[in-house]
Amino acid sequence: MDDTITYGVEPLTSEDTYFNAKTTGTRGVEAEMRWQRKGRSLILNYAYYEVANGAADNQRVLNFQDGSEDSKAILGMPRHKTTLAAHFQMTPQRSLNPSLIWQSAAYAYTALDAQDQPVLHKYNDTVLGNLFLRYQPQAIKNLEIGLGVYDLFAANPVYIQPFNGGSAPLPGPSREWLLKLRYRF
């Protein structure tokens, strides 16, 4: 992408601003395998990305406390993600649908040090587990009842800024319970 609109802070005035950054982009690979048999299926997906053609300084992972950097990562974005989803038809009326999502570490600037320089924070790998049970009673055709739990392991992911904006992360969803009733006409 050329001339992307990017958020930043003007160093002389400390005011928020938007500007056109230089050319930026990513490259990566994604692979998916699927297995299916009568009443059962598994889907495994893996995705990887890294910076290509550079990135604006306020988007790159720079300035670790020890002076190092990860020049292939972009702020706020994990470089690896794996998803495993399954479907098990236990009976003609009941199915179980578990899934696991793993994301590698991501980085964000979340504070300023004693010299008013941004401090880079590493957010550890995240594993989200989800489970959904579906029931379709024979007595009431077209009715579906579902019970699910999302974020089974209470990972409580956060939303971090993909730029050096000086704000703390926003809280993401916590564990959720879902009761679903659906009738098809």
Which residue's entry shows tokens 């500007």?
A: 19
Domain ranges of the chain: 29-50+78-183
| Tens digits of pLDDT across the chain (185 residues) | 677 777 766 767 777 777 777 777 788 999 999 999 999 999 999 999 988 766 555 566 765 555 556 677 888 889 999 999 999 999 999 999 999 999 999 988 887 778 877 788 888 899 999 999 999 999 998 999 999 999 999 999 999 888 777 677 889 889 999 999 999 99
From the CB of residue 157, how many other CB atoms can be counted at a distance below 10 Å? Answer: 18
Give the type of residue at 19: F
pTM: 0.81
Which residue's entry shows tokens 């991501």?
A: 106
